[in-house]
Chain A
Amino acid sequence: MIRFILADLNRFKAGALAVIVLIALSVALSVTVTLQERAVRLGSARAAEKFDLLVGAAGSETQLALSAVFLQPSPLPLMSGAILAKLSEDPRVEFAAPVGFGDSADGHPVVGTTTRLIAALSPTLAEGTGFMHLGDAVIGSEVARRIGAEIKPMHGAADEGGHTHTEIVYRVTGRMAPTGTAWDRAILVPIRAVWQLHGMTAHEHHDHAGEVAETVAANEHGHDHDHDHDHAPHIDAGAGVDEHFDAETPGIPAVLVKPKTIADAYRLRQEYRGETTLAVFPAEVLTRLYATLGDARSLLLAIAIGTQIIVIAAVLLVTVMHVGARRRQIGALRAFGAPRRAVVAIVWGELFLLFLLGFALGVCIGYAAAQFISATLTATTAIRMPVEFAWQDLSLALWFVVLAVLVSTVPALSTLRLSPAQALRS
């Protein structure tokens, strides 16, 4: 029987192949949508794991979370540095680290922070040491620089028309272990270097507090900025790193807070939600985004399933026509003594086999496509996006198989109505 089915399919190679490809592509669409949505969700959730609580100036929660967790360049308002000082001394806080972004080097974000944050991201460095001097830099695992290499920071990003800071050249002293987060693409430098670079030293920080988004959007605030450089002609790269913050600390876009307990986390979040500050759990922002992502997935999946229905209808049409064209063959099989159940089984088996092959091919194509998309996304964001199947996918697969079984029955049963003599005459 199998031998006959294969010989028969071999005769209609082109048609069978077309049917398989048609089914495969429609299946691949659903597989890709499902896997990719999961990959983005898992990847971003893991990327946000190390960021318990973020405190920033009042504004958009989503923007704050996306900028700090995924290092997305966006104009964030600056929060008073006094808050950082206050958080650093809070007994409920294990550590509070400033996150100052806005500069870049070769497309990598340059982030001003402290050694505590580096320790939190990468407890042990992959190589080298953390920063001791203002001009030291620790790079993420995805940054293609060697220890000792020089990094010239650029204000904003090159494609935004930023300009190079000439006041300082950072020297790479260490490299973090891979974290699977956007920070793998980052260049971490002492926050004070960033402040000085932007002319925001403690004593003049009040003058610059209004210059909020300046650290980020170079093209908008470039002119003010150039002006600042006149005040800060050179930065002493050899100066020691001072990670003590007080009320005179300059403004910063975000502070990462590691609370001691969960209860502390909720209390802190409550406390710092006010007129001037904003506190968010990146996880809750992500959950909201996932809801949107989930909606998008549902929509895409609905489209994909719609495509599948159209494809199945097309396949059904092709098969019914095919059975019509094969009446003689079916009639002959019956005439020579093949029982009806054998004929039904052959027609059913052929179509079911095509469905299964198409399904298997579709899963492979969908998986490959999701891998490719994830790899592309990882290359640009450094966020590792795991493409993996989950148990709930099994139910989707089962549904497909049940559907394939049922759909294959239609043309198979249509052969029952054929009288062998009529079939032979046609």
Chain B
Amino acid sequence: MLALDISGLEMRFPGIDTPVLSIPRLHVPAGAQLAITGASGSGKSTLVNAVTGLETTTAGSVSWGGTDIARLSAGKRDAFRAAHIGLVMQDFHLFPGLSAFENVVLPVRLARRLTQIDRERALGLLETTGIARASQAIETLSRGEMQRVAVARALLSNPGVIVADEPTASLDRRTGDEVAELIVRLARQDGATLVVVTHDPVFRERLDRHITLEGGRIVEHSAEAWAA
């Protein structure tokens, strides 16, 4: 598990005068669970991109367990993300033509040799997430099952952080609740720090702290979220 420390973070896009995201300080302790809410265009996704290193920050530092990823090169950021951050996205981003198991191990396989431990962990995760047949072709799964596979993929490398961007937004109520429960439970089990962008109040309530963004700034935070 890794603690998140943001200071003086600013994200600007060319052609726009005001920063799309400006967070002077944000601290999430290791193993904590943070919900990020806000209207669309409030900067949620930009924040996710910044904390996962998917996008280069304009200014400030984003530090995970003492490693400032804002200072890393693009390649090193990719490597850091691969090693420490498990990502779950609204659109699953699974790869058709591969089985559930192959989807789970794909990132690892592309980065290095797949070990026996990886295989066993992948099969275990699929079992935990409730996918009965690991060899099933991904396109034949239901949407809920697909997101479960995506969750299993995010957890394969035993990351210290799980970042989920609207993981339940494209699922129906019941399935969404199940996936939300699964993410929270597994993150807690593994002791991973969890950051979830969601507009689902039920999901938000499952997490121990939350912040709300508006116009790229934190406008509201729960007592536990230490932000300023």
Interchain CA distance A334-B110 in the complex, whole Å: 10
- Chain B hits for A21, CB < 8 A: none
Looking at chain A's contact residues, is the secondary structure mostly helix, strand, loop, or mixed?
helix
- Please choose the segment from B2-10, B74-82, B183-191 that sits at the chain A interface, where 4 or more of its residues have CB less than 8 A away: B74-82
A336 touches B98 (CB 8 A): no
- Chain A hits for B56, CB < 8 A: 419
- Please choose the segment from B35-43, B58-66, B89-97, B121-129 that sits at the chain A interface, where 4 or more of its residues have CB less than 8 A away: B89-97
A337 touches B96 (CB 8 A): no
B97 touches A421 (CB 8 A): no
B54 touches A7 (CB 8 A): no
- Chain B hits for A11, CB < 8 A: 96-97
Interchain CA distance A333-B81 in the complex, whole Å: 12
Interchain nearest-CB distance for A41 vs B (Å): 48
B96 touches A336 (CB 8 A): no
The listed residue (B102, B110, B157) touching A333 by CB distance below 8 A is: B110
Interchain CA distance A249-B108 in the complex, whole Å: 92
Size of the chain B interface, CB-CB below 8 angstroms: 29
Does B173 make an interface contact (CB < 8 A)?
Answer: no
Does B193 make an interface contact (CB < 8 A)?
Answer: no
Q: Mark B45-62, 1 if CB is under 8 A from A, else 0.
A: 000010010111000000
B98 touches A3 (CB 8 A): yes
Does B111 make an interface contact (CB < 8 A)?
Answer: yes
Interchain CA distance A1-B111 in the complex, whole Å: 10
Q: Mark A94-110, 1 if CB is under 8 A from B, else 0.
A: 00000000000000000
- Chain A hits for B157, CB < 8 A: 337
Interchain nearest-CB distance for B227 vs A (Å): 23
Interchain CA distance A420-B106 in the complex, whole Å: 17
A336 touches B153 (CB 8 A): yes
Does A424 make an interface contact (CB < 8 A)?
Answer: yes
Does B109 make an interface contact (CB < 8 A)?
Answer: yes
Interchain CA distance A337-B109 in the complex, whole Å: 10
The listed residue (B49, B82, B102) touching A337 by CB distance below 8 A is: B82
A336 touches B55 (CB 8 A): no
Supposing A333-B110, A336-B87 touch, asked if A7 and B81 sit within 8 A by C-beta, the answer is no
- Chain A hits for B110, CB < 8 A: 1, 4, 333, 337-339, 342-343, 346
Q: Mark A170-198, 1 if CB is under 8 A from B, else 0.
A: 00000000000000000000000000000
Smallest CB gap from A420: residue in B: B54
Within 8 A of A (CB), among B101-158: 102, 106-111, 153-154, 157
A336 touches B107 (CB 8 A): yes
A336 touches B93 (CB 8 A): yes
The listed residue (A10, A328, A337, A339) touching B97 by CB distance below 8 A is: A10
A337 touches B107 (CB 8 A): yes
- Chain B hits for A337, CB < 8 A: 78, 81-83, 107-108, 110-111, 157
Q: Mark A326-342, 1 if CB is under 8 A from B, else 0.
A: 00110011111111101
Interchain nearest-CB distance for B162 vs A (Å): 13
Question: 16 A-B contacts, Cβ less than 8 Å apart?
Answer: A7-B97, A7-B98, A332-B89, A334-B54, A336-B106, A337-B82, A337-B111, A338-B82, A338-B110, A339-B111, A340-B75, A340-B78, A346-B110, A420-B78, A421-B54, A422-B55
Contacts A337-B108, A421-B49, A422-B55 known; 17 new A-B pairs at CB < 8 A: A3-B102, A4-B98, A4-B106, A4-B109, A7-B96, A332-B93, A336-B93, A336-B107, A336-B153, A337-B81, A337-B83, A337-B110, A338-B107, A338-B111, A339-B111, A342-B111, A424-B93
